[in-house]
């Protein structure tokens, strides 16, 4: 039997992981009233055999609650709600980071509490629509262009949310700097047309991300801080621009200076998105000396190739964890994977297509 490095123990900072398999963050919309609940705790605990779980996007602010039924971590009630999940995962020997996701312009007022605002670096409307429980699909609104005071307040919100995450029992925090949400909106000259210190040239467009990462690292420790990036991604109306390469070259060097725990790179080409050039993955891996997490349609052989070559340290898997709660065990033992992926229930509100997928052993018992 082949000894795969994928199943060997490793570390992120001082945190010991039982294997190199990461459960990628996936929005599931089960947080009623934006509070993590017992159903979510069950879902994550079922998947605690992953080396590291990264939660669904969790807002650091009322202004970041762009989707229906996504969790936050900016109130005491939300902190208490998340404690159920962290306790359940830790009880099974797992490790878990919360992903802090401010949706920026990818939002709608109908999904937000009273007084919250849809904001972005500039008043540039995204094309497309957002689901709202109240009025179904609605066009994205024109966001409010953030003032300098808004920027400073939002950075502080991220830092406070990170502190709340540690109080809730999380092992660390991943900042969502990918997929067209607020942090990436600052990086792109398409969504960021500012002419101040947070817009224009590459250094200025990266400033908000760097300052936010630094604030979080200062609040909870650099060894507990990671970031997800999606260079050459096009999710949430983020078209390519001529300076992408230079942007991520500069950004990855600056993140290396901050000595944070990891960079997690998104590659959705396996689901039909544009291919992420190998050149940019290699560049970021060269610039950044700590852990690199890669994702995107991996099988075990490709995992071994990328780990052996030094391209990746950990590999993230998304959808296989949805309908295979015991995905790690199935891969390690060459057990067949479930093909029963109930996509109609991805973003519903109950246990259907969420916590009701059986493990391989449970399936054998029921046969």
In the set 43, 181, 250, 357, the catalytic residue is 181
Side-chain-side CA neighbours of 366 within 13 Å: the count stands at: 7
What does 319-343 look like in DSSP terms, one character per residue? THHHH-TTHHHHHHHTPPPP----G
Please name which of 39, 77, 74, 38 lies closest in space to residue 58, comparing C-alpha atoms: 74
- Cα dist. 309→285, 312, 331 in Å? 11, 8, 21
> Which residue carries 């199943």 as its tokens?
7
Query: Between 244-258 and 202-220, two packed helices, what is the crossing angle to 10 degrees?
Result: 30
Please name which of 15, 17, 19 lies closest in space to residue 330, comparing C-alpha atoms: 19
Are β-strands 119-120 and 144-145 bridged in parallel, bridged antiparallel, or unpaired? parallel
Side-chain-side CA neighbours of 269 within 13 Å: the count stands at: 13
Instruction: Return d(Cα 271, Cα 285) in angstroms, integer.
Output: 23
Q: Is 250 noted as a catalytic residue in this protein?
A: no
Determine the distance from the C-alpha atom of residue 184 to the mean position of all C-alpha atoms in its chain, rounded to a whole number.
12
Query: And the tokens for 65?
Result: 């609650």
Instruction: Return d(Cα 246, Cα 227) in angstroms, integer.
Output: 18
17, 316 Cβ separation under 8 angstroms: no
Report, as residue numbers or ranges, the catalytic residues.
181
């Amino acid at each position: 039997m082949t000894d795969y490095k994928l199943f060997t123990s490793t570390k992120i900072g001082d945190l010991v992981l039982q294997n190199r398999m990461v459960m990628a963050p996936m929005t599931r919309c089960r947080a009623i009233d934006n509070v993590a609940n017992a159903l979510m705790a069950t879902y994550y605990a079922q998947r605690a055999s992953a080396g590291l779980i990264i939660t669904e996007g969790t807002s650091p602010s009322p202004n970041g609650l762009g989707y229906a039924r996504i969790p936050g971590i900016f109130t005491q009630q939300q902190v208490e709600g998340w404690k159920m999940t962290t306790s359940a995962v830790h009880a099974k020997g797992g490790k878990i980071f919360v992903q802090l996701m401010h949706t920026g312009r990818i939002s709608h007022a109908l999904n937000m509490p009273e007084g919250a605002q849809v904001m972005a670096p500039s008043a540039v409307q995204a094309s497309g629509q957002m689901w709202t429980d109240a009025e179904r699909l609605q066009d994205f609104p024109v966001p409010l262009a953030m003032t300098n005071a808004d920027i400073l307040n939002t950075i502080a919100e991220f830092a406070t949310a990170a502190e709340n995450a540690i109080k809730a029992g999380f092992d660390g925090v991943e900042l969502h700097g990918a997929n067209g949400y607020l942090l990436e909106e600052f990086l792109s000259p398409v969504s960021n047309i500012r002419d101040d210190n947070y817009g224009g040239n590459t250094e200025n467009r990266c400033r908000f991300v760097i300052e936010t990462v630094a604030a979080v690292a200062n609040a909870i420790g650099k060894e507990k801080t990671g970031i997800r990036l999606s260079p050459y991604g096009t999710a949430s109306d983020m078209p390519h621009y001529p300076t992408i390469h230079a942007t991520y070259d500069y950004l990855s060097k600056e993140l290396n200076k901050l000595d944070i725990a990891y960079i997690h790179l998104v590659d959705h080409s396996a689901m039909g998105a544009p291919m992420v050039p190998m050149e940019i993955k290699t560049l970021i891996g060269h610039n950044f000396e700590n852990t690199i997490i890669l994702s995107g349609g991996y099988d075990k052989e490709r995992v071994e190739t990328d780990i052996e070559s030094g391209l990746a340290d950990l590999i993230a898997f998304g959808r296989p964890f949805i309908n295979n709660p015991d995905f790690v065990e199935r891969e390690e033992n060459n057990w067949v994977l479930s093909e029963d992926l109930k996509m109609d229930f991805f973003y519903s509100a109950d246990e259907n297509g969420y916590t009701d997928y059986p493990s391989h052993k449970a399936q054998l018992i029921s046969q």
